[in-house]
């Protein structure tokens, strides 16, 4: 009897353990399916966030590049205008960085070129153009020696031709 009771108890225990094992296996399978679903959603969300970040980064880089290139393009256009003889063009200074400093220097250079051209045009009306060219090519020569050289040329001109040089009037 005891033996039969032990066998029944053992059989009952094994049956309950089998049921518990089956329940645990079902929970495990359900958890695996749910985890795979969560992983798929997280992977999709991760790809979406990565794509949004990449597009945002490209847009930001484009805006920064455009913002940096605009003043440089203006400088290039200003340079081309000066190259074509338009000394009235100044480039607006729109920043306080290195490009802004370069733009200020460019505008200062244009102003100096304008003054130099006015001087050249003014002197060209009253002084031999070759003298004006020499003075502009060698600005360091403008001193007492430069004045003597101009006087010497004037005297040479009188000595060679017997009359003072003709002054050009515009």
Structure tokens at 15: 């049956």
Helical segments of 84-170, H only? 98-126, 129-137, 144-161
Higher-confidence residue: 164 or 127?
127
Residue whose token pair is 């220097």: 105
110 close to 118: Cβ distance less than 8 angstroms = no
95: CB partners within 8 A, 6+ apart: 71, 103
Measured CA to CA, the distance from residue 100 to residue 94 in angstroms comes to 6
pLDDT of residue 110: 93
Does residue 24 surpass a pLDDT of 80? yes
What is d(CA 85, CA 59) in angstroms, rounded to the nearest whole number?
39
pLDDT of residue 60: 97
Q: pLDDT higher for 168 or 126?
A: 126
8 A C-beta contact, residue 95 and residue 71: yes
Instruction: Tell me the average pLDDT across 108-124.
Output: 86
Instruction: Give the number of other CB atoms < 10 A from CB of residue 71.
Output: 19
**170 or 37: which leads in pLDDT:** 37
Domains assigned to the chain: 2-126 (1.10.8.500), 127-170 (no CATH)
Q: Please determine, for residue 32, whether its predicted confidence score (pLDDT) is greater than 70.
A: yes
Output the 3-class SS for 17-75: HHHHHHHHHHHHHHHHHHHHHHHHHHHHHHHHHHHHHHHHHHHHHHHHHHHHHHHHHHH
- Quick one: what percent of the chain has pLDDT higher than 70? 81
């Amino acid at each position: 009897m005891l033996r039969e009771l032990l066998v029944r108890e053992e059989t009952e225990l094994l049956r309950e353990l089998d049921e518990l094992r089956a329940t645990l296996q079902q929970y495990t399978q359900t958890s695996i399916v749910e985890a795979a679903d969560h992983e798929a959603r997280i992977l999709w969300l991760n790809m979406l966030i990565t794509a949004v970040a990449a597009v945002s980064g490209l847009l930001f880089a484009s805006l920064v590049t455009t913002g940096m290139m605009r003043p440089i393009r203006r400088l290039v256009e200003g340079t081309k205008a000066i190259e074509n003889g338009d000394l009235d063009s100044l480039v607006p200074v729109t920043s306080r960085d290195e490009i802004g400093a370069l733009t200020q220097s460019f505008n200062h250079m244009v102003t100096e070129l304008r003054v130099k051209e006015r001087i050249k045009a003014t002197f060209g009306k009253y002084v031999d153009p070759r003298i004006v060219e020499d003075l502009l090519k060698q600005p360091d020569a403008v001193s007492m020696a430069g004045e003597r050289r101009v006087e010497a040329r004037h005297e040479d001109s009188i000595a060679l031709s017997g009359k003072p040089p003709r002054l050009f009037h515009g």
